[in-house]
Amino acid sequence: MGGRLFIICAAALLAGGCFKDQRRDDTDKSALEIRQLIDRWTKAFEAKDLDGVMAYYAPGDRLDSYDIVPPLQYKGAAAYRKDYAEFFKQFNGPIHVDERDVDIEADNNVAFAHGLERLTGTSTDGKPVDTWLRWTSGYRKIGGRWYALHDHVSVPVDLATGKALLDLKP
Amino acid sequence: MGGRLFIICAAALLAGGCFKDQRRDDTDKSALEIRQLIDRWTKAFEAKDLDGVMAYYAPGDRLDSYDIVPPLQYKGAAAYRKDYAEFFKQFNGPIHVDERDVDIEADNNVAFAHGLERLTGTSTDGKPVDTWLRWTSGYRKIGGRWYALHDHVSVPVDLATGKALLDLKP
């Protein structure tokens, strides 16, 4: 009996160890999957590929986004898709994105990421665009893959003058 | 042998079931703990209690925040504390906060939340302040309690005029 109990305990400890390693591996895997999702968004955004960009976000009503432009919030994927379409229309040719200080915090089913992003390109009236933005995304794993449920994009503002600060550098 | 195997399998299934329920309970518990953290922040903010406000955030260097005012990012708790102190100095008396459309997505160790927030009060030059902001926070459980590792606060801007939109309503 003593021997059998030892074997059961050893098996339980081993299983506990396996679960523990499995969890850490899952978290690392989550962060890698989020990194890949961000990279796919970046490629699609630079190419002004609306379907590719929207693949980053949860379809339907669960998405709730705060963009650099009004209104205060975009509820649902359809509203945010329209916002992206408007944004892309303001550029001649592709947009270039540089990422800086990206941080990803991921658990098994919930994650968030944020970073600074420099957008460069040419507007449809021929003017150069060169602006650093701040972005944050919140994600949930749904049906085995990650989707952004939330997006927040902004620039700081000067409260004394009411001016948006579009020329700050990190 | 068959009977013993059945008992072991039944025990394993039961343990699996327990783990599963435990996980769901933990996730609900996480969301509740985040809700309490937000409520404590709100009370401290309304009272302009700097220590109370900073208890929301991870101490040290892990905090990386994007505030409504420049610079693009505040690295570390000390820099963000200074930013809060500057903000509080601009108000006469307490600040009132109304929350709207708050969403919390929580796993066991990582969570994020976002919402709209109306700030009302009186500035030190006697003018009424009444502005809706968007906020997002990202959290991690460290040593058994939740801390915000990331904060993003903003208003939308009108890119055509370069104006910050401080009078939008949801």
Q: Which of B71, B106, B150 sits opposite A110 (nearest CB)?
A: B106
Quote the CA–CA distance of A26 and A15 in Å, as a whole number. 16
| A69–B158 C-beta distance less than 8 A | yes
Disruptive mutation site among B110, B131, B140 for chain A (greatest number of A CBs within 10 Å): B110
pLDDT of A64 reads: 98
> pTM of the full predicted structure?
0.88
Residue B21 banded pLDDT, cuts 50, 70, 90:
low
B134 touches chain A (CB under 8 A): yes
Give the distance from CA B9 to its chain's centroid. Answer: 43
Q: CB under 8 Å, gap of 24 or more: what pairs does B41-50 form?
A: B42/B97, B42/B99, B45/B95, B45/B97, B46/B94, B46/B95, B46/B96, B46/B97, B47/B94, B48/B88, B48/B91, B48/B94, B48/B95, B50/B81, B50/B84, B50/B85, B50/B88
DSSP B58: P
Please give the residue of chain B at the shortest CA–CA distance from A129: B159
Q: What is the mean pLDDT of each run of 10 residues along chain A (170 residues)?
A: 48 48 78 98 98 98 98 98 97 96 97 98 95 98 97 96 96
Residue B141: is its pLDDT beyond 90? yes
Residues of chain A positioned with their CB less than 8 A from the CB of B67: 156
Q: Which domains does chain B have, with CATH numbers?
A: 2-164 (3.10.450.50)
Residues of chain A positioned with their CB less than 8 A from the CB of B11: none
Please give the residue of chain A at the shortest CA–CA distance from B105: A110
Asked which of A53-57, B22-26, B141-145 is least confident by mean pLDDT, the reply is: B22-26
ipTM confidence:
0.87
Residues with Cβ < 8 Å from A125, sequence gap 6 or more?
none
Residue B9 banded pLDDT, cuts 50, 70, 90:
very low
